[in-house]
Amino acid sequence: MFQKLERKFGRYAIHGLMRYVIILYAVGFVLYSINPLFYYEYLMLDIDKVMQGQVWRFVTFLIQPIDDNLFFLFFSLYLYYMIGNSLEQRWGSFRFNLYYFSGIVFNVLAVVIIYVTTYLLFGEGISYPISLRYLNLSLFLAFAVEFSEVRLLLFFVIPIKIKYLAIIYAILEGYTIVTSIMDGSVFGICAAAACVTAMMNFLVFFLSTRNYRRISPEQFKRKRAYRQSVRQGQSFGHAANYQGKTVITRHRCAVCGRTELDGDDLEFRFCSKCDGNYEYCMDHLYTHTHVVREKKDEKSE
């Protein structure tokens, strides 16, 4: 499905999307420093105001300041910039765009669902104040799934793998959802519904990337051969034209043809699901069509 969408809409993807997101966060901090109430009065996602014609709030709520402390703001901006760029390099620009913008849609949808439900039940809709917390948390959890062995400094001192931080966050969010439901109040149920709906982009991503099928012997063999080739450091030469000379490169993407000569920041990986030694750059490692050789049935004479 992702491949079909990318072939059709991939040209519209925003490259380096996280740069523009960080700029929005910085603008939000400046506005908050000048007038702390300006965002909440004119920009936040308030469905009551949207119903009155202020439709720009569907977009401007993204300018919400993520921190009012300058020191922690720089730390947060750096962290999310690193997370966003890493995910874009791993997935490609289109898939990262799809993940981020679907997160925005689900955040808006959470507020709309709460408003409509409370209106039908009580005759008056509740405009639940949702923040960018869930959107940023979905980025963090996706990064933890893709780069589980990366270490962060907890309290700037204690090194800890990001997968353990993600587990802690997941437990805390689960506890919040359960206690909010058990509270029985309208606000508690709204908080639980907002959390589940706003994080739906991560849930869809996590479930769609799990392998629920039993691995066949052939797949196991390919994966084992791939791991052995990585451990042994095997490389395959490719002829390329570089500055008018024919040189042998160690890496070459089977889709776009780029080599390590096209950029110092390019990374290449072999695909364990393709039949044969097919290598891809990070933009196409997770988006290419797997190469599967057709097997002909041997007829016995």
- Domain assignment present for 193: yes
152 shares its domain with 178:
yes
* 74: Cβ contacts below 8 Å, ≥ 6 apart: none
Strand 151-154 versus strand 158-161 pairing type = antiparallel
**Three-class SS of residue 151?**
strand
Higher pLDDT among residues 234 and 106, named by residue: 106
For the ranges 72-86, 247-261, 270-284, the lowest mean pLDDT is seen at 247-261
The two tokens of residue 296 are 């002909």
For the ranges 22-31, 115-124, 245-254, the lowest mean pLDDT is seen at 245-254
pLDDT value at residue 112: 86
Closest of 184, 186, 92, 84 to residue 135, by C-alpha: 84
Higher pLDDT among residues 154 and 217, named by residue: 154
Task: Determine the structural domain holding residue 139 and report its residue range.
Answer: 2-208
- Domain assignment present for 74: yes
Average pLDDT over residues 257-282: 80
pLDDT digits (tens, 9 = 90+) for 27-59: 888 888 888 888 888 888 888 888 888 888 888
162 shares its domain with 230:
no
Higher pLDDT among residues 176 and 296, named by residue: 176
124 shares its domain with 186:
yes
pLDDT value at residue 156: 65
Closest of 97, 120, 114 to residue 197, by C-alpha: 114
Closest of 199, 172, 58 to residue 115, by C-alpha: 58
Residue 175 has pLDDT above 80, yes or no: yes
The two tokens of residue 205 are 């991503």
- 21's enclosing H/E stretch is helix 17-34
140 shares its domain with 273:
no
The Cα 210–Cα 205 span in angstroms is 9
The two tokens of residue 193 are 């519904």
Domain boundary pick from 155, 173, 208 = 208
158 shares its domain with 67:
yes
Q: Is 168 exposed, middle or buried (0-12, 13-18, 19+ CB in 10 A)?
A: exposed
- Domain assignment present for 291: no
137 shares its domain with 111:
yes
pLDDT value at residue 216: 55
197 shares its domain with 95:
yes
- Domain assignment present for 272: yes
- The CATH number covering residue 25 comes to 1.20.1540
48 shares its domain with 147:
yes
62 shares its domain with 118:
yes
- Domain assignment present for 121: yes
For the ranges 80-89, 97-106, 262-271, the lowest mean pLDDT is seen at 262-271
36 shares its domain with 98:
yes
Residue 296 has pLDDT above 50, yes or no: no
- Domain assignment present for 286: no
Number of domains in the chain: 2
Tell me if the pTM is above 0.75.
no
For the ranges 93-107, 162-176, 239-253, the lowest mean pLDDT is seen at 239-253
Residue 200 has pLDDT above 80, yes or no: yes
The two tokens of residue 53 are 């014609």
pLDDT value at residue 246: 52
Under the banding of pLDDT at 50, 70 and 90, the label for residue 212 is very low
Domain boundary pick from 185, 208, 231 = 208
H helix runs in 35-153, sequence order: 38-42, 47-51, 57-60, 70-91, 93-122, 133-146
What single-letter amino acid sits at 178?
V
Under the banding of pLDDT at 50, 70 and 90, the label for residue 300 is very low
Higher pLDDT among residues 221 and 215, named by residue: 221
The Cα 272–Cα 195 span in angstroms is 36
